[in-house]
Every structure is written in structure tokens, then in C-alpha cells.
A and B are shown apart, each in its own frame.
Chain A
Amino acid sequence: MSPPAAESYLTDGRTVWSWLTTHDHKRIGVMFLGLTLFFFLVGGVFALALRIELLTPGRTLMGHLAYNRMFTLHGVTMVWLFMIPAIPSAFGNFLVPLMIGARDVAFPRLNLASVYLYVLGASVALWGMFEGGADTGWTFYTPYSTTTGTAVLPVLMGVFIIGFSTILTGLNFIATVHTLRAPGLTWMKLPLFVWAIYGTSIIQVLATPVLGMVLLLVALERVVGAGIFDPARGGDPLLFQHLFWFYSHPAVYIMVLPSMGVISEAVCAFSRKNAFSYRMIVYSTLGIAFVGFFTWGHHMFASGQSTFGSGAFGAMSMLVAIFTAIKIFSWLGTLYRGSIALESPLLYTLGFMFFLFFGGMIGVAYSTTSLNLHWHDTYSVVAHFHFIMVGATVMAFLAALHYWFPKMSGRCFPAKLANGAAVLIIFGFIATFVPQFLLGNLGMPRRYADYPPHFQSLHVASTAGASLLAFGFLAIAGYLAWSLRYGAVAGANPWGSEGFEWRSASPPPTHNFSTPPEYPTGPHEYASEEVPHAA
């Protein structure tokens, strides 16, 4: 009775074991999606606890040490367990082979290994959490991280292991995009999401080893007193910051570049237009990947580095804004006179563009040394990087989740609920982080559990915004879980998108295509109702 061939990758083997041993990039993508969503929840609960602690001056919910541990684990979880893997490992794995007409990634077994490395690293870090938890902040700054009595070592090792998962994923994508494109799919026909993942992979592969080494050095410092970062033993704590930010500043682009790829896809799909200046979007992706490596010194304006150094790093940092602006103009150009469908992915896209633009312009102000010194280590910085990393990355993640949900599950979700949640989330973000910009400008330092009473009203506003966010995320979790079982069957292409990934069935069969796909046209080409650009 049962059909001989599985209808989709979801029904090809239903046992847990068939998932745990799969080499199918789509299943690996789905596993990564589940894992990253779980850690997004964990990190989000930490964030809410922090906001509740800051609701009133003095002790509200927890002591100072508990607060320090909590913001550290919030940062570690969100950066390494959610934002870095979320889009490349989950959506990249699922979509890149579909988009380039391949049956799988270049190294499927390595791909599965990267899931297990991620789980292992996350487990080690979580174990450290229960062993007392680090209280250093996610940046592990020396000399504090080498002297504090809390469980820094397991957290360091956890991040070290997750780094290998990142490297393997990046390596796999580079080889896949280079060698497994379908015949006829030239570089300048690649979907913009693939370009974004490709640029991200280059950063992952080049930056992560340096992070691995610097974490190893901190670990050694704690275990054998190596002295590399300890002035008392002849070392230099600033070397840590140089090596750490050499990774961690480009890591911001590991989070934002894939987001930009998602946005490029969504903008084309929901305005029914070809990408405005496709080539410029591609080149600016590579430009950001390149310039990102020359900006790390802007984290160290207050460290006593030379004026020339600060000026050079400031100028290099501003270059990122130029490449980003090229993208924003291209997206606006694509939306202009498009046949716009205000579906939830596009709402998140508009939120993304607002957060990226607003947060990015403030970033330009921060790369000016004089302004930077005023805002250094205040809530202003917290608000800035949350605008970029959370506002932009999470917006793009939610856009991706909604845009490709029918592709991955074969089901649709209730559109009106989704639109309502999107609006709630966008306003929640604004309400959470705009007060933090103001707090920082007034002088509230970051990483503090306590504050003088005159900051309270702004903290209350920020916490209120955070609870809006929490409701929004709960709503999304609710209707998406409901849709997995009860949603309307999507059909192959519910959005009517021209993106290459929609050429296979939804959900796709195990080997993606029944016949080799052909690529006579470029990506995102909506030939029929194209409106000329000239006004």
C-alpha cells in the first residue's frame, strides 16, 4: 500500500535514528533550525531575567554575581549558539544546494559532523553554566577572565568546539558553491542569498581559527599561568583584545551578511521585481567581508592605542557603512514601483531595513573617536549592537523563518496572525532599545546590575518593550507549531516567487530534483509585469 519512493525529505525514514545519521542537507538544516531556536529561547529567558532585575534600582530578582553570570550566558548563548549558526547553518544548509541545483552539499558527512560538534560545544558550555557559570561577559576580557574564580574554562572550551562547527560549515559551503553549481548557473546568476552565504563562509573560515587560538591561550593562562596576557608575568592584556576582535568584529558580519542575503531574496519575492543592481549587491557583500577584517581596532579607542591607529580603524569602520548603504539603496530601488505584497516576511524586511539603517548610522557616529569616548561602555553601545545584531539579525531570521516555512514544512501559516506578531515584534524592539540609547547617553554604564534611581523610568520602558517582544515570540512559536500540523497545504510555490529554491517541490524530495534543473535566466527575474524604473 505504501508508496515505494518517499514523497519528501520529511517522510523518507521517520525514525529518530534516520534523522541522527542523515547526510541530507535539508534534514541537517532542520536540525540546526531546531537547535538554534532552542538556544534562542534559552538566551531570551536570560534576557528577560536581566530586564526584570533592572526594573528597579537595587536588588530586584538576583544578586550581583548571578547577574554577571546571567548576562555572560545570555551573550554566549545568543552570539555563538544562536546568531552565528542560525541563518548559515539552518537556512544555508537547507537552501544553498536547492538554489544552485545540487543534490547535496560537497561534504555531507562533514556537514553532519558539524551538527554534532555544535551539540557537543553547546553541552560543554551549558555544563559550565551549571558548574557555576562564567561572569566575564561573552568577550572573556583578560585579565579578569584569567583570574575570576567562576567556571570560565568549560564555557571557553564550549565556544572553542562550536568554532570548529562553524569552520566546517563555512568550508562546506565554499566547496559546494564552487564545484556543485548546476550546468549553466554562472556566478552572476547565483541567487543573492547564496552570494551572502558564500561571503559569510569566507569570514567564518578566515576568522574563526584565530578565535580558537585566543580562547586556547586564555584557557592555558588559567590552567598553567602561561602569562601571555598577564602584565605581572611580562604579558600584555591588550594582545587578547587585538586577537579577540580580529575574530569578533568580522563575526558581526557573520551574523549580518546572511541576514542581508535573506532580505535580498524577500525584497525581490514580495515586490515582484528583479533585484535592482544585482551586481552591486554582490560586490558590496564581498566588500563587507573584506573590510570587516580591518575594523577591529574600533573596539579599542579607549585602550590607549595610538591616535593614528584609532583614526585609521575609525575610517575603515566607516567604509562598512558605504557598502551597507549600497545594499539599502538597492533594496529600496527594488521595492520602488514594485507590486508589493505586505506579507509577514516583507514586514520583517522593512523592520530589518529600519534597524540596519538606524543602528548602522549610529555605528558611523561610534567610529568617530571623540563621540566613541563619550559613549564607550555605556548602554548606548548595548543598544547599538542590539539594533544591529538583534534587530537586524533576528528580523532577518524571522523573515527567513516565515518566507521558507512553507518550503521546509509544506504548510502555510495564518497570515493575519503572522502580520500582527511582526508588528508587535518591531515595536517591541524599538521600545526595548531606544530607551537604552538614551540611558547610555546619560551615562548609564553597561554590565551593571544596579543604578541610581533617576535612570529608572527609562529602564522600565525598556523592560516593557522586552515583554512585548516576549509575547510576540510566544505568538510566533504558537501559530508556527499549530501550522506544522494544521496549516493549509502550501503547494510548490505559495508565494509565487521566482527564487530558484521554489523550483523543487515543497517540501522537497530527498534528492531535491527529479530532473536536473536548467537556468536560462538570472535569479529573481519577474519578466511579465516589470515596471520601468524611470519615473
Chain B
Amino acid sequence: MPPEAVTEHWGSEGARRQAAYLGMWVFIATEVLLFAGLFTAYGVYRSVYPEVFRAAQLTMDVGLGTLNTFILVTSSIVVALAVHAVRGDRPGLGGALLLAAALLGVVFLAVKGVEYAHHVKEGGLPGDAYRFTEVPRVGASLFFTLYYLLTGIHALHVTVGVGVLTVLGVRSAAGTFGAGYATPVELGGMYWHLVDVVWLFVYPILYLS
């Protein structure tokens, strides 16, 4: 919340900051549980169809997946540096770094799009639309359904994150944030790290076997 927020509490600015932090952590907990449902489904079906899932993993483009992992981890470091810069009262640098991280997010989405295009060409589609002849349909169609769900919902989070980082970047460059008021940048950074960490679980279970 900006300091000029309409509602005042008996609590100090410190309490407000603490509330914002706690709210973000609770939100992150809900996000983890959102993905937990999908990870559970993945675990269940991987134990039911171990061979098919392995075969399906082998058809994934490990190169592009690894590239995306590097892009996302790099962007996370850039965001961490941005938070550090804003805290150190250099909002201009922080803004530039935030915008750079947002750009890396866009690159990530572009690579993801290239991958999706490959899958569509091969027929690696979810459920009924599955046409990929290399891996048997039963089980593999489930793998691809989960693949699209996990990466799709993750990509949705990346898209939201790009928007958040862009807004924060522009406002930071305009000097809204600084050593005295870095909370929004910190919270945006926490969100981006969440997106990064979720990917670090999605990547090995989908791409590496």
C-alpha cells in the first residue's frame, strides 16, 4: 500500500509493511497449493504409466527447456539486484533492472511459444486432440494434458509477472520508490521468485528423465 492510503490504522508504518509481507507469503502459500494439485496428479499418473511417461519425456525439447530455465533464473537474479538497488536508494537503476527482467520474461514466453508450435505440428496435444504417433495414446495424452496445464498456468503467471515488473519498473524509474519505500518492489520480487521456483519443479519433471 502506498503511504497515502486512505485508511489509517493504529499500527505504525512498520505494521503496515509487515501486513503486506505476511499477505504476500500467504498468497505464495495458496499458489504453491494451487500447483500442488497438478503435481499430485502428475505423481499419480507417473506411477500408473511409468514407461509411457518416460517415453513422452524423451520427446520433449530439452534444449529449449534448459534455455528457458537459464532465462528465468537470470531474470530472478536481475530482480534481486533491482530490489537491492531500490533499497540502496538508486531507483533509476532499479527501474532499469526491473524492465530488463520483464523483457527476459517476454523472451521466456516467446521460447515457450516456439515449443508449443512444435508440439502442435507433431500432434502432441492434450486429451482428445492427441495425434502424436511416437508414444502410445493411453497415458501419453495424460502426460501432454498435464504438460499444457503445468506450463500453461505457469506461463499465465509469467505473463502477470511481466505486467507487474513493467509497472514497478516504470514507477521506480520515475522515482516513486527508494530507500524509504521499497515494499512494492520487494513484493513484486517475491512474486517473481515464486514464478521462478515453480518452474524449477516443473522443468525436471517434464523435461528430464
A interface vs B, CB < 8 Å?
23, 101-104, 106-108, 110, 167, 170-172, 174-176, 178-180, 182-183, 205-210, 212-214, 216-217, 220-221, 224-228, 233-236, 239, 243, 511, 516
Contact = CB atoms under 8 A, between A and B. Distances in A.
Interface stretch (B17-25, B64-72, B73-81, B96-104): B17-25
Contacts of B1: 107
A178 B49 contact: no
Contacts of B9: 102-104, 180
13 contacts: A102-B10, A104-B7, A106-B20, A110-B23, A170-B26, A174-B26, A179-B18, A180-B9, A182-B10, A206-B30, A209-B34, A228-B45, A239-B41
A227 B23 contact: no
A409 B62 CA distance: 64
A171 B30 contact: yes
B37 interface: yes
Given A175-B19, A224-B128, A516 B10 contact: yes
Interface string B47-58: 011000000000
B33 interface: yes
Contact of B29 (A172, A205, A233): A205
Interface residues of B, number: 42
Contacts, number: 135
Interface in B30-48: 30-31, 33-38, 40-41, 44-45, 48
Interface stretch (B82-90, B111-119, B135-143): B135-143
A507 to B, nearest CB: 18
Contacts of A212: 34
Given A214-B37, A228-B145, A236-B44, A179 B128 contact: no
A107 B17 CA distance: 11
A178 B26 CA distance: 12
A102 B15 CA distance: 12
Contact of B142 (A174, A176, A205, A235): A235
B8 to A, nearest CB: 6
Q: Which interface residue of A176, A179, A511 has the most chain B CB atoms within 10 A?
A: A179
B37 A103 contact: no
A187 B120 CA distance: 56
B18 A228 contact: no
Given A224-B126, A243-B40, A106 B29 contact: no
A101 B11 CA distance: 10
A243 B37 contact: yes
Interface string B168-194: 000000000000000000000000000
Given A104-B7, A180-B11, A236-B44, A226 B26 contact: no
B141 A175 contact: no
A355 B8 CA distance: 42
Q: Which interface residue of A210, A214, A226, A239 has the most chain B CB atoms within 10 A?
A: A226
Contacts of B41: 217, 228, 239, 243
CB-based closest 3 A-B pairs: A225-B128, A213-B37, A209-B34
SS class of chain A's interface: helix, strand, loop or mixed? helix
A107 to B, nearest CB: 6
B30 A209 contact: yes
Given A209-B34, A239-B44, A516-B10, A233 B127 contact: yes
Nearest to B128: A225
Contact of A210 (B15, B16, B37, B127): B37
Contacts of B40: 243
Contacts of A214: 37
Q: Which interface residue of A110, A182, A212, A224 has the most chain B CB atoms within 10 A?
A: A224
Q: Which interface residue of B30, B40, B41, B141 has the most chain A CB atoms within 10 A?
A: B30
Contacts of A216: 149
B48 to A, nearest CB: 8
A108 B7 contact: yes
B167 to A, nearest CB: 16
A205 B34 CA distance: 10
A209 B141 contact: no
Given A104-B7, A213-B34, A235-B142, A226 B126 contact: yes
B19 A107 contact: yes
A233 B37 CA distance: 20
Given A178-B18, A179-B15, A167 B7 contact: no
A302 to B, nearest CB: 20
B15 A180 contact: yes
B89 to A, nearest CB: 26
A106 B10 contact: no
A227 B141 contact: yes
Contact of B33 (A171, A174, A210): A210
Contact of B10 (A101, A174, A208): A101
